[in-house]
């Protein structure tokens, strides 16, 4: 892509992906790069600007994340938290363990006119650090301070190097976006040249160049990601995008039928739909461990492809709707593997395909905007995220047709009531899940020993963090009453209030 690019060097900070998002929100293309690879990539690609992220380590520790600052010569650079401390450490300043660690909201005082942290509407910021800069490097001026942090920001404007001890990327810093905007456009002199339309144009051209006159197998689920990916492929290569929908029996209520109708009726897609419910339920019999469930479901997708080899083996490419958060949670150089994200779990030998992932570096909100630009209907673009293994990860314990129906019915009631009452606006994801326990209840003057349903609704920006939505109690009470009365086998309803972290959005 021929764009001005901002590299965000990841030192393991919890907000690194958010920095990338914030930069992109200004229409500037940004990528995250892991610190061990950063020097080589910066030297080779010469980005237009660099942002150094926060991180959990101390620059004073042996083996702490580091960077050869010679590669940054002449490149506008912003250091955030650990990034600022590393700047000071590597450029001749002094860093020490803070006598008073700062966590949470703080108010800073600007001490230099015309800096990127001066003349704002709010000086409230979000701090999260144990070390601090004791002395700024030669040639740098201090631009902000707090009661316990004498150097809360510094800069060397002549060299286009800037540092802030706080986190401007988080919403807890009210004027943080102003600081980032000043760095990008006033100090780095960037232009906003990256939009959804330019992304579409570039990806269409890239797909055509990569694929040539070959066919692409596009596995679709009806979710936002695979739908946008399919629309992008159809625009690029038409009928040579072979869309495959496998009905594994783990979709939400009535969704399998809706997917088939949407792809054939709206997209006029070259769609092959396979009803494989019996296969999946048979292989999931007795499987209760979460990772084994995911792998079993992935393996069965491969088996479906093997059984339909004659229809599919003339495809030379496989497209997957992988997104950026999937990449991070499935394991990266600076992030622990949380769980395996499911697309297609391994390929059989005859499927010697080349993989293309046109959405791999997009966040969910960016994917939705691309979908709108491609003309997808709102009900598809605004659909809540749905896991690849479907309800298999919302049923704790064994997955059976009977247990799936319980979840489908409870989930349908929950989401329908939220929509009817206008409570679905702002919700990132909402669903019902089934626990692998039973509890005692009383219905019709008789004892019951049945299953509890867990309801979960969260708000999030990118699925990296999430918090429970405050649904009014009367709505929850109404939903619980309907579920207990209308869903066979359920006698109790819970609402999950846990944020991410420490929990994940899905139960498994």
Residues classed as catalytic:
81, 167, 169
CA separation, residue 247 to residues 65, 108, 227, 251 (Å)? 46, 56, 15, 8
Cα distance between residue 436 and residue 7, in whole Å: 45
Q: In terms of DSSP bridges, do strands 5-10 and 153-156 run parallel, antiparallel, or are they unpaired?
A: unpaired
Distances (CA, A) of 77 to 70, 73, 273, 434: 12, 9, 51, 49
* Joined tokens for residue 61: 């520790």
Nearest CA to 409 out of 318, 490, 487, 504 is that of 487
What is the b/e burial string over 70-94, where b = at least 16 CB atoms within 10 angstroms of the residue's CB? ebbeebbbbbbbbbbbbbbbbbebe
In 3D, which of 284, 298, 258 has the Cα closest to residue 404?
284
Q: Residue 305 gets which letter from DSSP?
A: H
CA nearest neighbour of 365 among 49, 14, 22, 50:
22
**What is d(CA 311, CA 280) in angstroms, rounded to the nearest whole number?**
21
Q: In the chain, count of helices (H) and strands (E)?
A: 15, 20
As a whole number of angstroms, the distance between CA 330 and CA 76 comes to 32
Strand-pairing partners, residue 219, are 244
For residues 430 and 310, what is the distance between their CA atoms, to the nearest angstrom? Answer: 39
Question: Shortest CA distance to 372 belongs to which of 205, 195, 128, 112?
Answer: 195
Helix (H) / strand (E) containing 429: strand 429-434
Query: Which tokens in the block code for residue 450?
Result: 């049945």
For residue 433, the cross-strand partners are: 454
Distance of alpha carbon 258 from alpha carbon 264, whole angstroms: 10
């Amino acid at each position: 892509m021929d764009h001005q690019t901002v590299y965000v060097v990841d030192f393991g900070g919890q907000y690194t992906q958010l920095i990338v998002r914030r930069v992109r929100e200004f229409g500037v293309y940004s990528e995250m790069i892991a610190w061990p690879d950063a020097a080589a990539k910066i030297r080779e690609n010469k980005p237009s600007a660099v942002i150094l992220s926060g991180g959990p380590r101390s620059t004073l520790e042996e083996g702490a994340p580091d960077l050869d600052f010679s590669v940054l010569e002449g490149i506008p650079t912003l250091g955030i938290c650990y990034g600022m401390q590393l700047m000071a450490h590597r450029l001749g300043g002094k860093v020490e363990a803070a006598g008073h660690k700062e966590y949470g909201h703080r108010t800073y005082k600007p001490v230099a006119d015309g800096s990127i942290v001066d003349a704002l509407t709010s000086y409230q910021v979000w701090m999260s650090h144990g070390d601090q800069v004791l002395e700024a490097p030669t040639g740098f001026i201090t631009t902000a301070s707090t009661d316990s942090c004498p150097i809360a920001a510094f800069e060397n404007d002549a060299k286009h190097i800037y540092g802030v001890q706080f986190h401007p990327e988080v919403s807890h810093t009210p004027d943080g976006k102003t600081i980032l905007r000043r760095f990008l456009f006033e100090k780095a002199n960037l232009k906003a040249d990256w939009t959804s339309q330019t992304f579409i144009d570039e990806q269409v051209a890239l797909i055509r160049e990569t694929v040539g006159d070959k066919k692409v197998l596009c596995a679709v689920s009806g979710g936002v990601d695979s739908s946008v990916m399919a629309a992008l492929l159809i625009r690029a290569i038409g009928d040579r995008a072979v869309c495959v929908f496998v009905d594994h029996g783990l979709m939400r209520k009535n969704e399998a039928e809706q997917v088939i109708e949407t792809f054939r009726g709206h997209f006029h897609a070259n769609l092959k739909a396979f009803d494989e419910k019996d296969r999946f339920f048979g292989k999931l019999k007795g499987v209760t461990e979460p990772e084994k469930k995911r792998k079993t479901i992935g393996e069965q997708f491969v088996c479906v492809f093997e059984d339909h080899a004659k229809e599919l083996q003339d495809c030379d490419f496989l497209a997957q709707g992988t997104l950026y958060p999937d990449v991070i949670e499935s394991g990266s150089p600076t992030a622990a593997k949380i769980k395996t994200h499911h697309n297609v779990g391994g390929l059989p030998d005859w499927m010697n395909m080349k993989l293309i992932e046109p959405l791999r570096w997009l966040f969910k909100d960016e994917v939705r905007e691309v979908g709108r630009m491609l003309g997808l209907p709102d009900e598809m673009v605004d659909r809540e995220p749905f896991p690849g293994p479907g309800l298999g990860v919302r049923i704790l314990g064994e997955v059976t047709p009977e247990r799936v129906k319980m979840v489908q019915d409870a989930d349908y009631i929950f989401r329908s009531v939220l929509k009817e009452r206008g409570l679905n606006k702002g919700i990132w994801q909402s669903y019902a899940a089934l626990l692998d326990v039973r509890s005692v209840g009383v219905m019709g003057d008789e004892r019951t020993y049945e299953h509890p349903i867990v309801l979960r609704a969260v708000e999030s920006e990118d699925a990296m963090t999430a918090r429970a939505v405050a649904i009014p109690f009367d709505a929850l009470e109404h939903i619980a009453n309907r579920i207990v009365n209308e869903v066979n086998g359920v006698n109790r309803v819970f609402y999950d209030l846990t944020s991410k972290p420490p929990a994940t959005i899905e139960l498994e």
